[in-house]
Amino acid sequence: MAGTQGADFPGAVPVPEGETYNPDFSHPWLYEESRAIVIAGLIFSTLSLALRVYTKATLLHKFGWDDVSMIGAWLFAIATQALCLYGYAHGGIGLHIWNITPQMFLDFQKGIFAAGIVYVPSLALAKASLIILYYRIVGQQRLYRYALYFIAAVVIGYSIAITFALIFACRPIAKAWNGALHGTCVDQNGLYAATAVTNTVTDVALIVVAIPVVWSLHMPTIQKIGLFFMFVVGCATVITSIIRLVTLFPFLKSNDKTYRVAWTDLWINVEANFIIICACLPFLRHFLRRYAPKLIGEGSSAGRYFKSYNAGGVSTTRSWRRRPEHTVLQDEIELAEGGGSATGSAVRIMKEVQWDVTEERREGPQRELGELGEERRQAVPGMHV
pLDDT at residue 294 tops 90:
no
Q: Is residue 4 part of a domain?
A: no
Q: For residue 138, what is the domain's CATH number?
A: 1.20.1070
pLDDT band at 149 (very low <50, low <70, confident <90, very high): very high
What does the chain come to in residues? 385
CA–chain centroid gap for 101, Å, is: 39
pLDDT band at 298 (very low <50, low <70, confident <90, very high): low
Please tell me the predicted confidence (pLDDT) of residue 223: 67
Partner residues linked to 315 by β-bridges: 310
115 in the same domain as 131: yes
DSSP codes of every residue in 15-53: PPTT-------SS-TTHHHHHHHHHHHHHHHHHHHHHHH
- From 267, 289, 311, the end of a domain falls on 289
283 in the same domain as 340: no
Q: Is residue 384 part of a domain?
A: no
More confident residue, 105 or 354: 105
Instruction: Report percent pLDDT > 70 for the chain.
Output: 70
**Which range is least confidently modeled, 117-131, 174-188, 285-299, 338-352?**
338-352
CA–chain centroid gap for 206, Å, is: 13
pLDDT at residue 381 tops 90:
no
276 in the same domain as 223: yes
Domain count along the chain: 2
Long-range contacts at 54-60 (CB < 8 A, ≥ 24 apart): 54/287, 55/283, 55/286, 55/287, 56/283, 59/286, 59/287, 59/290, 60/286, 60/333
Question: Considering Cα of 267, then 268, then 274, then 275, what sign does the dihedral take?
Answer: positive
- From 220, 254, 289, the end of a domain falls on 289
Please tell me the predicted confidence (pLDDT) of residue 361: 46
Give phi and psi for 30, each to the nearest 5.
65, 15
pLDDT at residue 271 tops 70:
yes
State the average pLDDT for the chain.
77
Cα angle value 199/82/176 (rounded, 5°): 65
Q: Is residue 358 part of a domain?
A: yes
CB 48 within 8 A of CB 280: yes
276 in the same domain as 157: yes
**Which range is least confidently modeled, 13-17, 228-232, 320-324?**
320-324
Please tell me the predicted confidence (pLDDT) of residue 234: 59
Is-above-0.85 flag for pTM? Answer: no
Count the Cβ atoms, other than its own, within 10 Å of residue 5. Answer: 13
CA–chain centroid gap for 164, Å, is: 24
239 in the same domain as 181: yes
**Dihedral-angle region of residue 189 (phi above 0 means left; psi in -120 to 50 means alpha; beta otherwise):** alpha
Q: Is residue 82 part of a domain?
A: yes
Closest CA to 267 of 251, 235, 239, 244: 244
Rounded CA gap, 199 and 155, in Å? 8
Q: Is residue 229 part of a domain?
A: yes
More confident residue, 295 or 301: 295
| Arithmetic mean of pLDDT, 69-97 | 95
- From 289, 312, 331, the end of a domain falls on 289
pLDDT band at 232 (very low <50, low <70, confident <90, very high): low
Which residues form the domain of 338? 294-379
CB 72 within 8 A of CB 121: yes
251 in the same domain as 371: no
370 in the same domain as 356: yes
Q: Is residue 87 part of a domain?
A: yes
144 in the same domain as 90: yes
Task: Write down the number of H helices and E strands in the chain.
Answer: 12, 4
Rounded CA gap, 20 and 27, in Å? 16
73 in the same domain as 173: yes
Please tell me the predicted confidence (pLDDT) of residue 362: 46
Please tell me the predicted confidence (pLDDT) of residue 208: 80
pLDDT at residue 221 tops 50:
yes
More confident residue, 334 or 181: 181
Rounded CA gap, 225 and 228, in Å? 5
Q: Is residue 24 part of a domain?
A: no
Per DSSP, which regions of the chain are E strands? 170-171, 184-185, 304-311, 314-321
**Which range is least confidently modeled, 56-60, 111-115, 150-154, 232-236?**
232-236
Question: Considering Cα of 291, then 296, then 300, then 306, what sign does the dihedral take?
Answer: negative
Query: Residue 330, CB half-sphere, CA atoms under 13 Å: how many?
Result: 27
331 in the same domain as 185: no
284 in the same domain as 300: no
pLDDT at residue 374 tops 60:
no
Going by the DSSP 8-state scheme, the letter that residue 55 receives in this structure is I
pLDDT at residue 359 tops 50:
no
**Dihedral-angle region of residue 293 (phi above 0 means left; psi in -120 to 50 means alpha; beta otherwise):** alpha
CA distances for 329 relative to 167, 228, 281, angstroms: 43, 9, 12
More confident residue, 143 or 351: 143
Please tell me the predicted confidence (pLDDT) of residue 6: 44
316 in the same domain as 269: no
| Arithmetic mean of pLDDT, 71-96 | 95
Each residue's pLDDT tens digit, 303-325: 443 333 343 444 444 443 444 43
Each residue's pLDDT tens digit, 17-76: 888 898 889 999 999 999 999 999 999 999 999 999 999 999 999 899 999 999 999 999
Going by the DSSP 8-state scheme, the letter that residue 296 receives in this structure is G
Q: Is residue 19 part of a domain?
A: no
Please tell me the predicted confidence (pLDDT) of residue 349: 40
